[in-house]
Amino acid sequence: MSKKNILVLCTGNSCRSQLAEGYLRYFAGDKANVYSAGIETHGVNPKAVQVMAEDHIDISGHTSNHVDEYQAISFDQVITVCDNANEACPFFPGKVERFHENFPDPAKATGTPEQVINEFRRVRDMIKVYAADFVNEHVN
């Protein structure tokens, strides 16, 4: 069975899609090639790296990529993790399964540093559950 190519797409490829890429890679193991991209690139958010490290997943080597960089790859599945990306999502040729789940943007969190990092953790945990379920249903 060939590996599936999965793309996670959000607006800036800095938080939500990075978290999802980390968990999808973790849960899918060698069953899938997982990529993430944005319709813009904002750089990988250091707090996203921090909260993933707390869960023993290292995304510090991830880069913030523009969706156009992946035109040569034939994706099997595209997951949009914010409404903006879902609306602006480019057309992917071939037989691509589209999935959409709108997660809150932790980068928009306000309050004390503790409140902000707790919002990153809350979104991380939501994405972890989504990624585990996604791999069970659509990859395994």
**Residue tagged active-site, from 82, 85, 107, 135:** 82
- Alpha helix positions (H), 2-112: 16-28, 46-54, 83-88
For residue 134, give both structure tokens.
């996604």
Examine the residue annotation and report whether 10 is marked as an active-site residue of this protein: yes
Q: If DSSP codes are grouped into helix, strand and coil, which group holds residue 112?
A: coil
Q: What is the DSSP letter of 38?
A: E
Cα–Cα distance for residue pair 22/109, rounded to 1 Å: 21
**Residue tagged active-site, from 4, 50, 57, 89:** 89
**Residue tagged active-site, from 10, 28, 39, 49:** 10
Examine the residue annotation and report whether 15 is marked as an active-site residue of this protein: no
Three-state SS sequence of 45-100: CHHHHHHHHHCCCCCCCCCCCEHHHHCCCCCCEEEECCHHHHHHCCCCCCCCEEEE
Catalytic residues: 10, 82, 89
